[in-house]
Each structure stands twice: as structure tokens, then as C-alpha cells.
Structure 1
Amino acid sequence: MESLNFVYVTYILSTPEKVWNAIIDPEVTKKYWSDPLSKNPSHTNVSEWKVGSVWKHVRMDEDRTVDLVGKVLEVDPPNKLVISWARPNEMNDESIHSRVTFEISHYADGLVRLAVNHEGLDPQMFNGISNGWPSVLSNLKTYLETGKHLADHLR
């Protein structure tokens, strides 16, 4: 089966350090990792963010359901983070994990370029993240630039 790739690039009025922190800090991820039309946090990302450590995409429900898992493959703060990405029932079969690379770079005074490259996707996961990444990353940009969730600006 052919694997699919998804790339998203955005420019954020911020610093590389703040963008990095927003990606790895679970308290910050739950502020933007949700449906932009809802102020209710839907997920947070939890890990030690060290090479070889596990990361979990945890739903902010009563059961703290884990929707996605993976391993941290590369850490170069505040420039690059690489993680594997899988459904929880696929955690033990690394041959079917996809891979996400976050590249953070200074672009201009006060402006950061964030590139997210998600590689090795199966068609079902590609369809999900094709809507998911733009939504999440738009919300991240809005949160970092304004301190508010995107839904706050729509009401």
C-alpha cells in the first residue's frame, strides 16, 4: 500500500522557544488542541519529550482516553521534534507507524516558521489529519498570537 504525506507550514508572531513550549507542554496543548469552534479542550499531549520516551494524545474526558500514541524519535529544542504516530492498538507494530516532524525556525523579527511534515500515512489516517492538522495549527497560531482560543474570536 502506498503511504501518503501531509505538509503544513504556517508563520506565527512568536519566538521559537514559545512555539516549542506550546508543542510539548501539556498545559498549553490542551488550550489549543481542540475543535476551533469549541472552547472546550479536547486533547492534550503528554510525554517526557526525550528520545525513546512514549508520547500520548489524551482525550480530556473523564476516562482520559488515549487516542494516539508514539515514541519520541528526535529532540532538538527549540528547532526540531520528531515523533512516531499510531493508533493505540498499533503501538507494538512500528512498521505501520507514521512520522511527524515539527521544524521551528526564526523567519524574521518576531516571526517564526513552523513546518509540520506528517509522513507514512494510511488513507484513513490521511483523511483524518488532513482536517485535523490545519484546525489544530490554526488554533495554535491564534493562541500564541492573542492568548485566546480561536473560538473566543468567533463569538
Structure 2
Amino acid sequence: MTAAGSSEFVYVTYIRTTPERLWSALTEADFMRQYWFGMHIESDWKAGSPWRLLFTDGRVADSGEVLESDPPRRLVLRWQHRLRPELEAEGPARCEIEIEPVGDAVKLAIVHTMDRPRSGLIGAVGDGWPKILSNLKSLLEAGRVALDTKL
């Protein structure tokens, strides 16, 4: 639930994998390129460290700071968009990633929030996350991505 004056995107999926394998898939650049349409994040994934999401040509799409890192359970990022001026002007968002074992599967929950009503950034990530995470789930379970198109 969001506070008055804030925006939120929530995505929950279940993936037949282990928490360790999912954590690696979310944090290893080479694996990430396979499901994130060629893009990848550079970071050492330690609390207080910077991170940046890069296109294949090196342009920075998003960047920020690792706020929390508890492998293989929880990752929290400060998220700042860098390409579209109107989205960058909104300021930073917060992205919380929770990984929880459930039987032979793992529950992956992503909550992306911003302290502003009707955020364009939250609308944009709401379009992107389902494609990215569908690809991730398919890659981990079936060995290939579901979508080959761009974001």
C-alpha cells in the first residue's frame, strides 16, 4: 500500500530455482544481458556502493546506490533514471527486491516506489519489469528467454 502522494509498482512471481541461483542471475552482468535485452548492471552489490544500468553501447539508463544487500535474500536500490529528462527530474525512486524460498521454487517480489503521485518513472518501470522478469523466469526454468524484442 502506498502513502498518499506516492506511486508504487509491485511484481511478484515464483520461479523454479534456488535463492542462490536467482541472486546470481540478478547480480551477474553476463547472465543479466541474456534476459535484460542486452543491458546489464555494473556494481559490486555492497551497501553504499554505486550501481548503473548500461545499454550495449555504454549509455547509462539508470543509476543509483545500493542501500541494502543481504545475499541471497534482499537487495534495496536507490534508483535514478538518466535518459529521459522528465523522468530524471522526478528524482530517485526506491527498488526493493525480496527473494524467499517456497518449496522447490523461489518467490521473487519487486516493489518499486517513489514519493510523488502519478510518477512517470513508476509508470515506465511498470512497463519494463514484467518483460524483464518474464525473460528471467523463462531463462532460469527453460534455458531461453520469452521475449526477444526490446523494452
Deviations 1:44-93 (A, max 9, x none): 111010111110000012xx100100100001100000011002389xx9
The equivalent of 1:38 in structure 2 is none
Letter of the structure 2 residue corresponding to residue 56 of structure 1? R
1:49 aligns with 2:49: no
1:107 aligns with 2:110: no
In the alignment, the residues of structure 2 paired with residue 49 and residue 151 of structure 1 have an alpha-carbon distance, to the nearest angstrom, of 27
- Listed as ranges, the matches of 1:59-98 within 5 Å are 59-61=55-57, 64-88=58-82, 96-98=91-93
- State, as a whole percentage, how many aligned pairs show the same letter: 37
Letter of the structure 2 residue corresponding to residue 13 of structure 1? R
Label 1:96 to 1:10 Cα distance change in 2 as closer, same or farther (>3 A). same
1:13 aligns with 2:16: yes
Gaps of 5+ in 2: none
Q: What's the Cα RMSD here?
A: 2.1
- 1:121: how far off? 6.0
In the alignment, the residues of structure 2 paired with residue 127 and residue 59 of structure 1 have an alpha-carbon distance, to the nearest angstrom, of 20
Deviations 1:127-153 (A, max 9, x none): 21111011111111001111112147x
| Paired positions, count | 139
In the alignment, the residues of structure 2 paired with residue 3 and residue 25 of structure 1 have an alpha-carbon distance, to the nearest angstrom, of 31
| Structure 1 length-normalised TM | 0.83
- Listed as ranges, the matches of 1:116-131 within 5 Å are 116-120=110-114, 123-131=119-127
Label 1:151 to 1:4 Cα distance change in 2 as closer, same or farther (>3 A). closer
SS at 2:72 equivalent: coil
SS at 1:96 equivalent: coil
In the alignment, the residues of structure 1 paired with residue 115 and residue 62 of structure 2 have an alpha-carbon distance, to the nearest angstrom, of 14
SS at 1:86 equivalent: strand
If each structure's helix is expressed as a fraction of its own residues, which one has the higher value? 1
In the alignment, the residues of structure 2 paired with residue 20 and residue 82 of structure 1 have an alpha-carbon distance, to the nearest angstrom, of 13
| Structure 2 length-normalised TM | 0.85
The equivalent of 2:26 in structure 1 is 23
In the alignment, the residues of structure 1 paired with residue 147 and residue 7 of structure 2 have an alpha-carbon distance, to the nearest angstrom, of 31
